[in-house]
Structure 1
Amino acid sequence: MQITFTSFPSQSGLRSAYASATKHATEDDEDAYMDVEPFDDFESDSSRLTCPGETLTSAQSFMRGHGTYVDNDDVISSVAGTVERVNKLITVRALRTRYNPEVGDLVIGRITEVQPRRWKVDANSRQDAVLMLSSVNLPGGVQRRKLESDELQMRNFFEEGDLLVAEVQAFFSDGAMSLHTRSLKYGKLRNGQLVTVPPILVRRLKSHFFSLPSGVDLILGLNGYIWVSKHVKESEREGEEGFDAEAVYSNRNDDIDDATRTAIARVTNIIRILAAHSVPLTDVVLLEAYEWAVEQDADVKGLLQEDVSDALVAAVTSG
């Protein structure tokens, strides 16, 4: 009978071997992590821009969301837009896309069709919105019941081609927006000019109505439609019975002096310049841009020159 003795490493030797293996594994993980593009840009609140085909990060560390795809263990952007991160989910919001509505959003639209007891409205979304006759203010009191005579006079309130500002009230079963104009702030738009920008550039604010010192009113529609118009006092819309129906539903523009016309044209050009450079539009940004244009004494056409527009964008985004 032969007995064989096997020597085992001491307890201290086991600890040393375990520490060495752990060290090498940690170093390997760190090397692998260093190969992944750092995510410092995604830790901040500000989103960064990306273009199609750009590698964002490793698919092993993060999950792909809308606007991205996976190729060779990399998360790659499929559209041009802003990169957003929620925990481990990476998504890209496209710069050029249709408006995705939410209840409570303020939108600007154009009447496309008059139907029985409703209007169809183009709101820059995937399908036309609907404005019901029961969701508008009518002469004789805001809360009164709608009659057959009101249905016969629907074109006196809104007709094809009219612009209006409204609020998203709900959604129908097919996904279409249901709008309402029951507030005196909403209704038909006059005395101004419409500017169209990508909806992603219009941020949600406490109020989307504000005025510039030059006597110009601005309405920032979340659907990418912006209305620039002559300043109108609230008292001018109010009548003996709550509001002046003639002023609210009139199709005629008021007389606008040359100085106001120039101010409206200057503001519209400023909006176009900022949108062309993908600058998010807020009341603060637009006010700073307008004050810069006034200080530089830039005329309406001069703003569109490349050097002037670049200087305007640099002045607004420098802060």
Structure 2
Amino acid sequence: MKQQEILQDGHGRRFYYLRLSVTDVCNFRCDYCLPDGYQATHRQPELTVAETRTVIGAFARLGTRKVRLSGGEPSLRKDLPEIIHAAKTTPGIRRVAITSNGYKLPSVIDTWQQNGLDQLNISIDSLNADEFARITGHDCLPKILTGIDRALELGIQTKVNAVLLSDGATARLQQFLSWLKTTPVTLRFIELMQTGDNRDYFASNHLRGEEIEKQLIENGWQLLPRALDAGPAREYVHPDYAGRIGLITPYSKDFCDSCNRLRISAQGKLHLCLFTDAGLDLRETIRKGDADVLAEKVKALIGNKEVSHYLQQGNTGGTQNLSIIGG
């Protein structure tokens, strides 16, 4: 293996974190993402286990320390444990994470842990079972919470993602705060982002994360330092709570300055930003199985990364919905 490099773009940002989508298929129908359910828009095959190994190897050569496997819903891949193992056994990779809706969590979490999973992110937008069912189209919140309890028993660092929605936000915040009193997870509030498919929904439901952040600070929550391979959240702790709270606020000033992650789609396209117009197709290079060659190609393309996502100007790029490359 060649000596590890650090991947850096033309704006001085370094990239330690790869988000690798293993499928764009999802079985949920969340109001803000896929309200009509998943609709296949292509027939391109997903990356194979061997191809994901090549991708992860290439990024590890370029300084990547953390790999997050995402979707769509990654648990819909029967070979997901093999992909976890491939990531975990790649030299240079220190942490393997998964983002999931948790639908299959109780039946799969032990296998994921045995294959090397370090961190789990589960999407739960409400702790009210009826509201959860309305948002997602599935009445399965108790089962997901059981899976989270098992993940914690196994020692897996667990985070819960909740999209901020203006209607009912105060009630949901109080429910989450009560839960965090005794539950050692990190709850991450994520601002609703505008995509090509949700413009009207965004206009009527967007809530700025700074409003929640102000409340936290006023109530004694304290900001933690951010690790090099951490995601975009600003995390807060409180001495009276077992859990933490993070905020992801893509509409805030200078949000993109700390960007440290790149994305590969389930079909092998490099997305330099969540909101680029189109991915850069690497599939033919990936198929050849040479991680060094792939690494050189990624290095050559990183100079095309823009300084910002330009969400503030209403730009959504080619992102019709977040299931395409996992958010």
TM-score scaled by length of structure 2: 0.22
Q: Answer with 1 or 2: which has the greater Rg.
A: 1
Which structure has more strand as a fraction of its residues? Answer: 1
Relative to the length of structure 1, the TM-score reads 0.23
Q: Which protein has greater RCO, CA pairs closer than 8 Å, 6+ apart?
A: 2
